[in-house]
Every structure is written in structure tokens, then in C-alpha cells.
Structure 1
Amino acid sequence: MQQDMAGRVALITGAGNGIGKETAMQMAARGAIVAVNDLKEEFVSAVVDEITAAGGKAFGVVQNMSSREGVVAAVQQAYQHMGRLDILVNNAAWVRYQAIPDIMPETVDRMIDIGFKAIIWGLQAAVEVMDEERGGVIVNVASTAALRSTLNSVVYSGIKSGVLGITRAAAAELGVRNIRVNAVCPSAVPTEGTQRNRNAERDANRIARTPMGRLGTVADIARGICFMASDEAGFISAQALVVDGGVTFTNI
């Protein structure tokens, strides 16, 4: 893989597994120095070890993304470790799918804290440390649920729709600082976090409705994130890249 991110420092939140982990692996393979964030130290250490074993460079940032203090601390830790921050991937999330009568305040609060507020706090913290001349890139992980909702997803769809709004507004405000802000919208992909919402019948239905004839993978999504963070997307900002095999905008 080309070393087009050589020397750049990338903080990826929620990188202990799933899409975040794969994005960390791919960015490291492209030469980035990756700050691996997760709440659980054992997850962070495992990812850092895997990256370094493959010849990449990474270090751990164990912080809780459910509070402003945790988000700011994560950004500051990454910046102070390397003296720069070039890429921020807001990937951390906590998700529960519930029918409207079953939605509980504590569920809403936690989902909003990690999936919505943390992106705002990440933007604030990143602006403070990204070099104004060199610029930077922020990629927010949204979802196709922001574009086409399913059952039991009122809270999740609302949050991810908000992520797209944040992305566009931040791009408008931060362009003058040479900071690009984009989103990536994955469809449902098999991960540790989505396992509870998957079964063979549901997967078969998704495959049948997907023009590409398969489920997406974490590698598919990570490639989209890496593209948006790369110089190849150097004049792309305020956009939402849908990585879903065509399912969202077709009807088959």
C-alpha cells in the first residue's frame, strides 16, 4: 500500500475493534502514526501491538468519549505525544435499537453523549491543535440510517442525521483554517458491535437488496475513511460518502 500518509498523526476514536480498528490498521499501513483510542485499555493495547507487529507506528489513548473532558484529553494526549495532529476520525459510538415505546432516557443520553456531543467536543479540541498552515482533516462516521431509516432507529437515525449537519456546518466554518470536514456513511456491516442486531435471515435480506450482492466489510468502510482523509480528497469537504454497495439509493 502506498505511503501517502507518511508522518501524519491520526487520532481514531473507538478504535478498539470494528471499523475503528480497521481504519487504524489501514492508516498505519499508509504511513500514518496512529493514536488508537478506546475506553478499554486491553483493546487499545491489542490494536497497538497488531499495528507495530505489522511494521506500523501507533500508540494508545485510553479515554472515555462520553464526556467533554475525555474527548479533550484524548486530542491533547495525541497531540502532545507527537507534537502535531493532522487527522481526526470521530468513530466512537454506543448504539441501541429500540421501538419508540421502549426508549429510555438513559439510553438516549448515552447515545447522544458518545455519538453526537463527542463530535462537537472533538471538533473544538482539534481546531486548537491542528496547524493553521498545514491544515487538517476531520472525518465523522455517520450512517446510511441518516438517509434511509429502518424500524426501531428513532434515536440512532436522529443522531446520525445530526452528524451530517455538524459535518456540513463545520466544513463551512473551518475551511478558512485549511481544515476539511467530511462524513462517511456505512451501511450495516458485520462487527462485534452489530452482532446483536444480526441474524442469518436479516443478512440474507440485506444481501438480496444490495446491488453489489454482498454485505459490506469493515475494510470497505475503512477504505472510504482513508480516502476522505487522504490528499486524493484534497478538494472535498462538507460531503457524505455513502459506502453501502448501492443499497440506499436503489430499490431492488
Structure 2
Amino acid sequence: MTRSLQGKVALVTGAGHGIGRASARLMAARGAIVAINDLKEEFVADCVADIKGLGGRAVPVAVNVATREGMREAVARTRETGGRFDILVNNAAWVRYQAVADIAPETVDRMLVIGFKSVIWGIQAAVEAMDGKGGSIVNVASTAGLRSAANSVVYSGIKSGVMGITRAAAAELGAQRIRVNAVAPSAIPTEGTARHRSAERDAKRIAATPLGRLGTVDDIARAICYLASDESDFITGQTLAVDGGVTFSNL
């Protein structure tokens, strides 16, 4: 396996399971020291043990990155452990799908704090920690920000906003040799999405996907690692749809 992240120090938020965990595992396999962030300490400990068992290097950072102070602490602890700070993956999110009439203020507030504000606080803290040496920030958006469905007003709005943050931050931070990109996964089977899935719904998604299958967390992890690595060092401000072609297909 390529060692494209050898010597890099990375923080992955929401890395206790799903896309975040797969990304952290692959980053470690490619040579990075990876700080594992999640709100639940048991998820963090399990992921760290998993990576170490595979011969990788990982450290636990179980703090709440939904606050500016929590994100700054997570980044600072990562930098202190690794002696530098090269990569931030803004993956943490909390999601509820609701019809317009059912959207509650507390739902909007929680989704905005974790899925939108934390991206801003993460970029802010990462810029300081990168200390003028450059680096890569990868934000996890969604194809829901490109093509939406019913019951996703809040989610689609937030993920569209994450794409906007990505472009604006890339334009501002390029002079500091900091690249900012996003990945936009389609519906990916994870522990967190299980309650929204069914055999019938999966079959419809597969039928609408040119590549004829659902994506996996490893598909997204590979894209994240590519954008995090120097292999993509002339790419910034982009949102990469990792969706088997479904977003731009009329199947």
C-alpha cells in the first residue's frame, strides 16, 4: 500500500465509526499519525486499538468539537502529540431528516452546531496549528448539497453551506499553502444511516447509479486520503462527488 501520508499528522473528527473511522484507518495505514476524535470515549478507544492492532499510530482525542473551544483543544492536542499539524478532516455531523412542517428549532440548532459551525472552527484552529507550513483540510459534504430529496431541507442546506465554506476558505488560505477541498458522498451504508435504509430503497439507489452498486466507507476514505495527500497538491476549492455517477445521471 502507498505510504502517501508518511510523517503527516492528522485529526479526523467523528472518527468513532463510519466514514470517519474508515478514513482514520486508511490514513494510518498510509503512514500518518492520526488523532481519533469522537464524543463517545468508547468509540475512540475502540478505533485507536483497531489502528494500533494493524500496526498504525493513533491517539485518542475524545472532546466535543461542536464548540470553538473543543475544536481548538482537539487540534492543539493533535499537534502536541505529533509535533506538527498537517491534515484536518471535518467529518463530525448529527443528522435528522424531517418534513418541512415537522422541523423543530432544536433540530436545526444541533445540526448547525455540529455540521456547519464545527467546520468553521476546525478550519480556524487548523490554520493556526499549521503555523505557516501549509497543510490540507478535507470537509465531508454530501451529494444532498447537489441534488436533494424530500425531508432534507436542513441537511441539504448545511451540506451546501459546507461546499461554500470549502470554496471560500480555499480562496483565502491558498497564499498560506493550505488546501481546502470537500468530498460529497452519496448514500453510504454505515451504522448511522442504517435507520434510513431498507432493501427496497437500496435497490432503487443501485438502479439509479451508473456503476450499479452502493458506495462503501472505504470508497470515501480513499478519496479523502487522496485530497489530504501531496498527490493532490494542485487541487483546492473543489468538491469531489464520490457517488458512482448518481448525481449527474438520469438513469
| TM-score where L is the length of structure 2 | 0.99
Which whole-Å CA distance do the structure 2 matches of 1:2 and 1:167 have between them? 27
Which whole-Å CA distance do the structure 2 matches of 1:93 and 1:77 have between them? 21
| SS of the residue 1:242 aligns to | strand
Aligned to 1:238: 237
Query: Could you tell me which amino acid in structure 1 is paired with residue 103 of structure 2?
Result: I
Which whole-Å CA distance do the structure 2 matches of 1:4 and 1:199 have between them? 37
| SS of the residue 2:241 aligns to | strand
Displaced runs of 4 or more, over 3 A:
none
Which whole-Å CA distance do the structure 2 matches of 1:195 and 1:251 have between them? 26
| SS of the residue 2:119 aligns to | helix
Q: Number of paired residues?
A: 251
Which whole-Å CA distance do the structure 1 matches of 2:82 and 2:30 have between them? 17
1:70, CA displacement in angstroms?
Answer: 1.2
| SS of the residue 2:127 aligns to | helix
Please say which of residues 73-82 and 150-159 is displaced more in the overlay.
73-82
| CA-to-aligned-CA distance 1:199-234 (integer Å, 9 cap, x gap) | 111000000000000000000011110111111111
> Contact (CA 8 Å) 2:88, 2:126: kept in 1 or not?
yes
| CA-to-aligned-CA distance 1:31-82 (integer Å, 9 cap, x gap) | 0000000001110010000101100000000011221111111111111122
Which whole-Å CA distance do the structure 2 matches of 1:55 and 1:109 have between them? 40
Aligned to 1:156: 155
Aligned to 1:145: 144
Aligned to 2:109: 109
Aligned to 1:176: 175
Mark the runs of 5 or more structure 1 residues left unpaired by the alignment: none
Sequence identity, in percent?
Answer: 68
Aligned to 1:219: 218
1:46 partnered with 2:46: yes
1:106, CA displacement in angstroms?
Answer: 0.4
1:2 partnered with 2:11: no
Aligned to 2:67: 67
Which whole-Å CA distance do the structure 2 matches of 1:127 and 1:54 have between them? 31
| CA-to-aligned-CA distance 1:115-158 (integer Å, 9 cap, x gap) | 000000001101111031x3100000000000000110000000
| SS of the residue 2:147 aligns to | coil
1:4, CA displacement in angstroms?
Answer: 1.5
Which whole-Å CA distance do the structure 2 matches of 1:56 and 1:189 have between them? 25
| SS of the residue 2:187 aligns to | coil
| SS of the residue 1:22 aligns to | helix
Query: Could you tell me which amino acid in structure 2 is paired with residue 8 of structure 1?
Result: K
1:188, CA displacement in angstroms?
Answer: 0.5
| TM-score where L is the length of structure 1 | 0.99
> Contact (CA 8 Å) 2:4, 2:231: kept in 1 or not?
no
Which whole-Å CA distance do the structure 1 matches of 2:233 and 2:177 have between them? 10
Which whole-Å CA distance do the structure 2 matches of 1:40 and 1:25 have between them? 18
Aligned to 2:249: 250
| CA-to-aligned-CA distance 1:82-124 (integer Å, 9 cap, x gap) | 2211000000000000000000000000000000000000011
| SS of the residue 2:184 aligns to | strand
Which whole-Å CA distance do the structure 2 matches of 1:155 and 1:195 have between them? 19
Aligned to 2:21: 21
> Contact (CA 8 Å) 2:16, 2:43: kept in 1 or not?
yes
Query: Could you tell me which amino acid in structure 2 is paired with residue 105 of structure 1?
Result: P
Aligned CA-pair RMSD: 0.6
The correspondence of residues 181-196 of structure 1 with structure 2, limited to 5 A, is 181-196=180-195
